[in-house]
């Protein structure tokens, strides 16, 4: 949901997902003396109907150096005392299907003598999205174990993964595990079926959910799993849960059988599909950042079911009818599947139709990465891209060129093209990082769960003009790599024109990006310090708020912070 409310001097826009509200405001600088502006206080009011449940100023960690000294590291402080020195703020504690109002108040004066300019404050109302939508339901895990909140709440960073109901596991899941189990439980009796293609399938509680569907409710369950890469782990859980008769390996060709989807059937007909980037493992669900995405559309689910059937039997070598898990199953090689995807899910010639959902499957012979690059090149204002492993060469020209398009790139590890793609200031890049001990004053040392080899980012999605009227969201299992298009079993969705989907993905992207960006910058600054002695008199980032208005200038002009202010807020409305 989106809403905007302009005032005489300030205007604020709210973009809500289910768990995130992004706030972006703008200021008529020629009508306000910003020479003593120390930031903005953000007040949130939560409603139940017309009743006010709570009202308070939101809190952050960053504070003034000479104010509230002696606070324990990691202590949140109110923005009314330590204001936000930016024109954006993300509320990451919002609840689904809840009405809120947010009041943005300029704070002027001095750090220990703040004046909240209530006369200039502006307020916006917003309602967060429900977890389940009519067509799309989207679930992101927390994905930020290396955080101040995790460090405060859970001194022992290693969770007990065998029990997903513990507070620590529930915090990490943030509804992702619960939604996955609920999807499996939608198969209520023997009139239902489940068809799954899973790269990693070795988290016992999910295996138990499939077992309950099969043995307690009589559901028709069939699962394809990857053997070349995770065969041993997958088979161990399959045998443990008693699923061996309904699970079959995908191994032909040796490439990654990288899908993570489940199709729900009713009376033999596809109803809806679960997809996204989440592997069925403790690390996939509770560790690095991932998304589970349900499409409640029989047409889309039907395409996934046809693909699943193709992964069992090549269409040109088995007469119909056939039993996928009977003697006729052949575990088709790459060539047979690629021939099928060319006909059943071809790469679009250009833009996808308005308000459409297009499914793309791999392996395929036609170049899809270039098609993705062409869509990014058509952006007018903003592109957001996650990179779990490597950056495709096809994306480099778009990221290297001088452009006014604001491009956010978030990777799990430092990319080899990092210096190359950040030549244009409008490319804002961050790689996975956390605060080490003593990295910044006032911040706790952060620790990870230890569940993953790639620690932070496992999502595979891109957003093209997500705040526009015609946003594009591309999401699924493929890593935007050459192998993911040509060799692996993969699936992707291209969703055009659905602003609800774009709002959810955008809020979650900015939540993760802003979290990691601060840690990445701190890490890079420390690395530079070790290599170069700072010049005398040179400003050094201290991790504190600035005690004056010197922070304002960067948000006006031609730099990325100025563009972010303008693009996130959008045009002023009368």
Give the count of alpha carbons within 13 A of 3, CB side only.
17
Per-residue model confidence (pLDDT) at position 535: 56
Tokens of 497: 């024109």
Single pTM value for the model: 0.95
| Number of other residues whose CB lies within 10 A of the CB of residue 197 | 28
Dist. CA 125–CA 129, nearest whole Å: 13
Strand positions, DSSP E, 7-50: 10-16, 21-27, 37-48
Predicted confidence at residue 540, as pLDDT, reads: 45
Spell out the residues 6+ positions from residue 444 whose beta carbon is closer than 8 angstroms to its own: 73, 74, 148, 151, 152, 435
Decide if 230 contacts 260 (C-beta within 8 A). no
Contact 556, 29 (CB under 8 A): yes
Q: What share of the chain is helix, strand, coil (3-state, %, to 5)?
A: 30, 30, 45
Taking alpha carbons only, the member of 422, 433, 444 closest to residue 518 is: 433
402-434 burial code (b ≥16 CB/10 A, e <16): eeebbbbbbbbbbbebbeebbeeebbbbbbbbb
For 398, 462, 464, 548, the CA distances from 385, given in Å and listed in that order, are 12, 4, 9, 34
Q: Are 242 and 160 in contact (CB under 8 A)?
A: no
Return the closest-CA partner of residue 209 out of 243, 172, 257.
243
Tokens of 509: 């992207």
Judge contact between 102 and 12, C-beta under 8 A: yes
Position 497 scores a pLDDT of 98
Residue-by-residue pLDDT tens, the chain, 574 positions: 999 999 999 999 999 999 999 999 999 988 999 999 999 999 999 999 999 999 999 999 999 999 998 899 889 999 999 999 999 999 999 999 999 999 999 999 999 999 999 999 999 999 999 999 999 999 999 998 889 999 999 999 999 999 999 999 999 999 999 999 999 999 999 999 999 999 999 999 999 999 999 999 999 999 999 999 999 999 999 999 999 999 999 988 789 999 999 999 999 999 999 999 999 999 999 999 999 999 999 999 999 999 999 998 754 444 444 455 766 677 899 999 999 999 999 999 999 999 999 999 999 998 899 999 999 999 999 999 999 888 999 999 999 999 999 999 999 999 988 777 788 889 999 999 999 998 888 899 999 999 988 789 999 999 999 999 999 999 999 999 999 999 999 999 999 999 999 999 999 999 999 999 999 989 988 888 777 765 555 444 568 999 999 999 999 988 889 999 999 999 987 5
Residue 421's pLDDT is what?
79
Q: What 8-state DSSP symbol labels residue 131? A: S
């Amino acid at each position: 949901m989106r809403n905007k409310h302009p005032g005489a001097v300030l205007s604020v826009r709210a973009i809500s997902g289910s768990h995130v509200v992004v706030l972006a405001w703008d200021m008529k600088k020629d009508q306000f003396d910003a020479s003593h502006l120390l930031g903005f206080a953000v007040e949130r009011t939560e409603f139940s109907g017309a009743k006010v449940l709570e009202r308070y100023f939101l809190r952050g960690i960053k504070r003034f150096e000479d104010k509230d000294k002696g606070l324990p590291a990691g202590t949140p402080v109110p923005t009314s005392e330590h204001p936000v020195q930016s024109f954006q703020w993300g509320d990451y504690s919002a609840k689904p299907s809840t009405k809120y109002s947010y009041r943005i108040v300029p704070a002027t004066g001095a750090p220990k003598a703040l004046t909240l300019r209530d006369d200039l404050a502006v307020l916006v109302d917003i309602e967060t999205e429900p977890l389940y939508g009519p067509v799309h339901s989207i679930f992101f895990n927390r994905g930020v174990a290396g955080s101040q909140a995790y460090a405060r709440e859970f001194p022992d960073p290693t969770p007990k993964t065998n029990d997903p109901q513990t507070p620590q596991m529930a915090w990490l899941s943030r509804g992702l595990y619960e939604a996955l189990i609920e999807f499996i439980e939608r198969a209520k009796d023997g009139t239902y079926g489940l068809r799954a293609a899973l790269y990693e399938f070795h988290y016992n509680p999910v295996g138990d959910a499939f077992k309950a569907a099969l043995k307690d409710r009589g559901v028709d369950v069939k699962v394809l799993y990857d053997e070349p890469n995770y065969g041993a782990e997958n088979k161990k859980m399959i045998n443990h849960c008693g699923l061996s008769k309904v699970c079959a390996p995908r191994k032909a060709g040796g490439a990654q059988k990288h899908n993570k989807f489940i199709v729900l059937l009713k009376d033999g007909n596809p109803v809806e599909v679960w997809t996204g980037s989440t592997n069925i493992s403790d690390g996939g669900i509770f560790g690095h950042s991932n998304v589970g995405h349900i499409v409640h559309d029989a047409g889309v689910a039907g395409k996934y079911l046809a693909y699943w059937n193709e992964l069992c039997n090549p269409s040109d070598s088995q007469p119909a009818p056939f039993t996928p898990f009977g003697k006729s199953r052949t575990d088709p090689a790459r060539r047979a599947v690629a021939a099928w995807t060319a006909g059943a899910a071809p790469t679009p010639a250009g833009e996808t139709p308005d308000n459409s959902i297009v499914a793309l499957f791999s392996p395929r012979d036609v170049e899809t990465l270039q098609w993705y690059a062409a869509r990014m090149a058509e952006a007018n204002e903003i592109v957001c891209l996650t990179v779990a492993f490597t950056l495709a060469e096809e994306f480099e020209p778009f990221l290297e060129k001088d452009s006014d398009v604001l491009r956010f790139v978030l990777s799990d590890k430092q990319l080899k093209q990092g210096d190359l793609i950040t030549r244009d200031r409008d490319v804002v890049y961050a790689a996975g990082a956390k605060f080490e001990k003593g990295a910044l004053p006032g911040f706790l040392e952060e620790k990870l769960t230890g569940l993953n080899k790639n620690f932070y980012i496992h999502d595979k999605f891109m957003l093209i003009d997500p705040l526009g009227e015609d946003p594009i969201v591309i999401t699924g299992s493929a890593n935007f790599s050459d192998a993911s298009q040509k060799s692996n079993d993969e699936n992707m969705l291209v969703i055009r024109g659905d602003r609800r989907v774009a709002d959810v993905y955008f809020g979650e992207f900015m939540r993760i990006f802003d979290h990691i960006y601060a840690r990445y910058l701190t890490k890079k600054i420390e690395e530079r310090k070790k290599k170069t002695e700072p010049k005398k008199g040179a400003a050094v980032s201290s991790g504190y708020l600035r005690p004056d208005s010197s922070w304002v200038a960067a948000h006006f002009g031609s730099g990325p912070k100025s563009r972010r202010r303008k693009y996130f807020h959008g045009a002023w409305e009368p």
